[in-house]
Structure 1
Amino acid sequence: MDYQFKAGSIPLLVSMPHVGTDIPDDVLASMTPAAVDKQDTDWHLVRLYEFLSEMGASTLSARWSRYVIDLNRPPENTNLYPGQDTTGLCPVDTFHREPLYLPGRAPDEAEVQRRLQAYWKPYHDQLRSELDRLLALHGRVVLWDAHSIASHVPRFFEGKLPDLNFGTADGKSCDIGLSNAIVASAQGGDCTVAVNGRFKGGHITRFYGEPAKGVHAIQLEMCQSTYMDEDAPYGYRADLAAQVQQPLRAMMQAAADWIRA
């Protein structure tokens, strides 16, 4: 199976497109040791969001590493942040500009298209199918795209990122009432918060978020320093995670309450 999926009972779907760590053997044979480290993975999010099952939310998480193909990039590989540095649909380097492929082994266009069909399309087919199921049952749905990233990545931004970075495509992907409710539930604690700053939402948020059609999409990019060790071997920190799970639960509950109001 190309992903892990669990259908829920409430109109909330949580997508985790960058938690995958598997790399097919044929792809791995062309890659460098930097690819084996998988440092740019959204580590441990499934564990961090483990409370979702008791809430009744649907969950979809990736199996394959973002180094194989990035599920949160458009299939046309257009830059989501024009004029800014970013990694592509099939990344050729890490966030720290380390090459992912041996000399002359980077994927050509035919290989990119093969990976789109083999690894990208199944995830998005399931995502679309579950959104349609929830829409048919409830009339509208929240799509929460869950991500995490190292708190310092000089390639993309200066200094330390805010702890919680919400993206709604500058207000286009969800109703302002939903984003306000979620952000309000995140504020007041120890975490710093940004809305539509460096992260405005990737392809999933921008493509599927259609408030006029009942789909309200929001992305949360969390600093990994809030719940884990950012250096290899990227260990989960239960002591830190316990502190951030409380506001995270509140955010998810705010989303669930808003969409069912």
Structure 2
Amino acid sequence: MPSTSYHLHLPDAFTSCVVFASPHSGRDYPWSFLRGTVLDDHTIRSSEDAFVDRLFDCVPQFGAAFLRAGAPRAYVDLNRACDELDPALIEGVSKRSHNPRIASGLGVVPRVVSNGRAIYRGKLPMSEAERRITRIWHPYHAKLADLLSQSRTQFGSSILIDCHSMPHEAVRNSKGQSPEIVIGDRFGASASSDIVNQVEAAFERTGLRVARNAPFAGAYIAQHYGRPSQNQHAIQIEIDRSVYMDERAVRPNKNFHQFRKLLRGVVAELAAIGPRDAGRMAAE
């Protein structure tokens, strides 16, 4: 059975110009993919933004759309350009200029999961990569682009909150003061500073430790959709997985429900950023 590209959750009425998305929380693993990988069913999930979709499932209650991936990141990475093909994995792909993501095995069709563990024994045919991109990548991005366009039409601007999680190892430091939230705006290129300041403040008011652009500034999605000069802003949010889940077991920890409740308040604040209620005002 083919993996689903995305799941879309809409509000009863759009009252927010903000669109929330979770491109790496998909867990609709195709049986043929699980049969073809050298990894077990547990290890294959190690690069998944597990449970991020559950953390943000309250989004429609605040008048905003929530788009979440169906297909897992290990199958197709939606935060890569569709032409970021890995010559070490895909047959017939010629080497181009150096791309650190591709070189590390993290192209649009990944060669590895976390810690560089190989997904396959050998190479994949180009036809398989093209099939995944056609069935998974293109529908997801077509829908995301459509949601942002609709928001700009209705409200005059759109704000993408791209929701991710990060391994604790990626932000841990010796002083124990590592950030729990990393906000990425590609160093100011993908969103206006005023909007990013409001996003940062919403998280800081909860007492969470927040950093900007280090170690994650935003990848393809922030770069592609962030067009501040056109009133379209894209901000990547990374959450330290250890805050809400047992990373090794890939399951929620005892803090999950409390943290999910805390994020509900943050989501309410984020959904209130920018122009609101344009549709209702027009109707009146």
Larger mean Cα displacement after TM superposition, 91-100 or 78-87: 78-87
Distance 2:101 2:264 in 1: 34
Select the residue among 69, 76, 81 that pairs with 2:83: 76
Q: Is the 8 A contact 1:168 1:174 kept in 2?
A: yes
What's the % identity of the aligned pairs?
26
Q: Is the 8 A contact 1:205 1:217 kept in 2?
A: yes
Cα separation, partners in 2 of 1:251 and 1:206, compared to 1, 3 Å: farther
Deviation per CA, 1:90-115: give whole Å up to 9, x if none: 111111111111x22x3243322221
Counterpart in the other structure of 1:29 = 35
Counterpart in the other structure of 1:7 = 10
SS at match of 2:116: coil
SS at match of 2:111: coil
Select the residue among 106, 124, 127 that pairs with 1:110: 127
Distance 2:230 2:156 in 1: 9
Select the residue among 159, 162, 169 that pairs with 1:145: 162
Deviation per CA, 1:106-160: give whole Å up to 9, x if none: 324332222111111111111111111111111111111000122115xxx7748
Q: Is the 8 A contact 1:19 1:45 kept in 2?
A: yes
Distance 1:163 1:86 in 2: 26
1:51 deviates by: 2.2
Select the residue among 48, 53, 60 that pairs with 1:53: 60
SS at match of 2:238: strand
Q: Is the 8 A contact 1:142 1:255 kept in 2?
A: no
**What residue identity is the alignment partner of 2:10?**
A
Counterpart in the other structure of 1:167 = 184
**What residue identity is the alignment partner of 1:239?**
N
Q: Is the 8 A contact 1:87 1:95 kept in 2?
A: no
Q: Scaled by the length of structure 2, what TM-score is found?
A: 0.80
Query: Is 2:261 the counterpart of 1:258?
Result: no
Show the 5 A alignment for 1:169-184.
169-184=186-201
Query: Is 2:26 the counterpart of 1:20?
Result: yes
Larger mean Cα displacement after TM superposition, 15-24 or 183-192: 183-192
**What residue identity is the alignment partner of 2:115?**
H
Larger mean Cα displacement after TM superposition, 207-216 or 157-166: 157-166
Structure 2 unpaired stretches of 5+: 86-97, 277-284
Deviation per CA, 1:184-243: give whole Å up to 9, x if none: 2222544221101111112111101111212111000101111111121x2223534414
Counterpart in the other structure of 2:89 = none
Q: Is the 8 A contact 2:23 2:68 kept in 1?
A: yes
Q: How many residues align?
A: 254
Query: Is 2:110 the counterpart of 1:91?
Result: yes
Distance 1:193 1:81 in 2: 26
Distance 2:70 2:154 in 1: 28
Q: Scaled by the length of structure 1, what TM-score is found?
A: 0.87
RMSD: 2.5
Cα separation, partners in 2 of 1:121 and 1:207, compared to 1, 3 Å: same
Distance 2:36 2:131 in 1: 15
Q: Is the 8 A contact 1:226 1:241 kept in 2?
A: no
SS at match of 2:68: strand
Q: Is the 8 A contact 1:5 1:60 kept in 2?
A: yes
Structure 1 unpaired stretches of 5+: none
Query: Is 2:242 the counterpart of 1:242?
Result: no
Distance 1:210 1:41 in 2: 27
Q: Is the 8 A contact 2:57 2:66 kept in 1?
A: no
**What residue identity is the alignment partner of 2:163?**
A
**What residue identity is the alignment partner of 2:267?**
M
Query: Is 2:73 the counterpart of 1:66?
Result: yes
1:253 deviates by: 3.4
